Chains A and B, each alone.
Chain A
Amino acid sequence: MTAELRFIDAIHAGLQASLAADDAVVVIGEDVTYGGPFGATKGLADEFGRHRVRDTPISEATVMGMVTGAALTGLRPVVEVMFVDFITLAMDQLVNHAAKLHFMSGGQLRVPLTVRVQGGVRGRFGAHHSQSLESWFTHTPGLKVVAPAFPGDAKPLLAAAIANDNPVVYLEHRGLYWDKGPLHDDPVDGAVVRRPGTDVTVVSYSKMVHSALAAADRLADSGVEAEVIDLRWLAPLDTATVLESVAKTGRAVVAHEAVARGGLGAELAATIQREVFTELVAPVERVGAAFAPVAAAAALEDAFLPGVDEIERAAGSLMAFGPPPP
C-alpha cells in the first residue's frame, strides 16, 4: 500500500512505471506531451523524451493504424484516444487490423497494443463527448477490454494491459478521474466481489460499481443483502465469479452506464440464465441507459443516466419474487 492517489494519478503512475520498465513502451496521442485534457500524461515527455512520448495530428484513423504497425514490429505502444466518441474514426484500424491480425496471420503476428480511452457521462458535454461504447469492443473477437472502477486497480490493470500481447482497450470513466484511493501493484485478474451479500447479485464495472455499492447500502437498510461484483475485465469475462455468486443468491441485476439494448448486460444475462437457470428465483434484471443519444442539458443528462435509484429499484423488484422454493 502506498499513499492515496487520484484515479488519474494512478494512470499516470502506471504509464510512468511501464515506460521505465520497458524501452519498447511508447505513449502516443493528441497533446500527450502537454498531458492531454486531464493530465494523465503530464510530464512524461520530459521524463522519457519526445521520441517515446509523441504528439500526433488529429488523425485518429492513421494513428490507430500506426500504433498497430508499431506493435507488430516490436514496440508496445500505448495510444490515447481523447474521447471514446472519436474512436469511431479509428474503428477500421482497430477492428479490421489490430484485432484480427494475430488470427488472420495464423498466429504469426502479435499486436501488443494498449488503447487508453476516456468516456462516459460527466460534465454536460453532449452527444459527441459522453458515450459508453464498450459493447462495440467486447463484440469484436481479438480485442480485450478492461474497465477499472477504483484508483487501486487502475495501475495494475494498466500494467497488465500493456504487458498483454493482444490489443487491449483500457476504458477510463471521466467521472472517476478525481476519486482517491490507495494504490497497489498486486496483479488484478478477473472479477472481484466488492461487497458480499446473500440475497441478490449486482454485477457491474467502471463507475457504475460505485452506484451499485451505494444501492447496496440502501438495500441493506431495508434488510436486503446485495452482493456487488466489479467485473474489471469485460473481455475476457470472468463468468465463474458471477455464476458462483448468482448460484448463491438466486437473483441478478446487471448494471452499466452504456445503453442497455444490445449491451454487455444482455450477454451476461444470457450467460446467467443458461448456466444457473435452475438456481434463479427471478428473471435477470438489466440496468442501463435508455436507447437514446446523450443530451447536453443537465435535466436531460440526469434523466438519461442510470444510477443508484435504478439499481435499487431493479433489485427490489427481484426480491418481490419471494424466497427460493424449499
Chain B
Amino acid sequence: MSELDLAGRVELLERMWLIRAFEEKVSELFARGQVVGLIHLGIGSEGSAVGVCSALRSDDYVFGNHRSHAHAIAKGADVDRLMAEIAGKASGYCKGKGGSMHIAAPEVGFVTATGVVGGNVALALGAALTSVTTQDNRVSVAFFGDGAGQSGSLHESLNLAALWKLPVVFVCENNGYAEFSPLSAHTVVERLTDYASVYSIPTVTVDGGDVMEVRRAAVSAVARARAGEGPMFIEVLTHRLRGHYEGDPAAYRELSEREEWTVRDPVARFRAELEGAGVAADTIAATEAAARSRIASAAESAVAAPGPDPEEATTDVYAV
C-alpha cells in the first residue's frame, strides 16, 4: 500500500482537486448566502486529508473536527450529499441537521465531526476500543488542529490510547493558528509531538504541503496500529489559505507568510511533481476540469434541492 504507481498518484491529485474545487465552491456559495451557518474551509490542507485517508481502508474510521469537508471527501464521502448538507437541504448526509461542522458519513467510515475543539479525539478512541474488543482490525483516525492541543481532553486521550495500545492515529494539523491567534499565544510548546512523546507514543512531523510525505507517515502509523502496536501521533504542518471561518478577513496574518505558503500550496506542488514525473499536462488539466465540473453539478443540485420539512426539526431526537 505504501508505494503508489503513477496512476495511483494521479488519483490522489484528482481527490485533492475535488477538495479544492469543493471548498472554493462553498466559499462562492457562502458569499451568495446559499450555505448555512459557520463555514471553516480547509483550502491548503488537501495534502493532509488525502495523504492520511489514502492510507486507510474503506472500513477504517475517521473522526473530523469543525474544518472537515476535506477529510470527509478524502475518506470517500459523496460530494452531492455533502454539498447539500452544507446548504442545509433534506438531501444532505444529515438531512440538514448537521451542517458544515457536523458532517456524518458513516457508510464511508467518516463517522462524525464535532464543533467542540478537541471533542472528536475521545470519540476516535472509542471506535478504536470497538476494534480491539471485536478484533475487526480497523484503525481509527482523529483529525484535530493545533488549538485542540491545549485542551485537556487531548492529553487524557493520549494517556488512555497509550495505556490500552489502541489502534488510533492522532493527526494534528498544525496550521499555526488557533482560531485568530498564533500558536505561540496559546502555548510555549513548539512541537506538538512533545505532548505525545511523554506517553511513549511514537511521533512524526511532516510537511503538509507534500501529500506523499504525509501518506508515508500515515501508512506506517496505520500499519503499526493494525498490527496491535498502539497509537501514533502525526503532526502535519499545514496552512489555512483562508481565515478561521468564511468572512474572517484574517487581518492578524502576515502577508509574507501568506505568500510563502501560496508557493507551498499542496495541490500546486503535487501537480508540478507529477508533471515532472512525466504525466502529460493535458491529463493533469483534465483532473482539475473533471473535479470542477463534478463540484459545479453538486452545487447546482444542492442549491436547487428542497429544504427539509419543518417537522423534521423535532424528529430523530431518539433512536427507535
Contact = CB atoms under 8 A, between A and B. Distances in A.
> On chain B, which size bracket covers the interface?
35 or more
A212 to B, nearest CB: 29
B163 interface: yes
Given A73-B111, A93-B122, A102 B316 contact: yes
B317 A141 contact: yes
B114 interface: yes
A70 B318 contact: no
Interface in A3-35: 23-24, 26
A69 B124 contact: yes
A169 interface: no
Contact of B123 (A66, A77, A107, A110): A66
B166 to A, nearest CB: 9
B319 A166 contact: yes
Interface in A113-127: none
B112 A72 contact: yes
- Chain B binding surface SS class: helix
B97 A69 contact: no
Interface stretch (B16-24, B70-78, B127-135, B281-289): B127-135
B318 A65 contact: no
Contacts of A285: none
A256 interface: no
A69 B318 CA distance: 17
A66 to B, nearest CB: 4
Interface string B250-281: 00000000000000000000000000000000
B34 interface: no
Contacts of A93: 119, 122-123
A75 B130 contact: yes
A68 interface: yes
Contacts of B320: 165
Interface string A202-230: 00000000000000000000000000000
B17 to A, nearest CB: 27
A62 B317 contact: no
A88 to B, nearest CB: 14
A68 B153 CA distance: 14
A107 B314 CA distance: 12
Contacts of B119: 65, 92-93, 96-97
B15 interface: no
Interface string A55-92: 01101011111111111111101000000000000001
B104 A69 contact: no
- Most chain A CB neighbours (cut-off 10 Å) among B114, B130, B164, B315: B130
Nearest to B151: A61
B49 interface: no
Given A106-B104, A108-B106, 14 more contacts: A26-B129, A59-B159, A65-B119, A65-B121, A65-B125, A66-B126, A69-B127, A70-B126, A75-B133, A102-B319, A104-B97, A105-B102, A106-B316, A141-B317
Interface of A: 23-24, 26, 51-52, 54, 56-57, 59, 61-75, 77, 92-93, 96-97, 101-112, 141-142, 144, 165-166
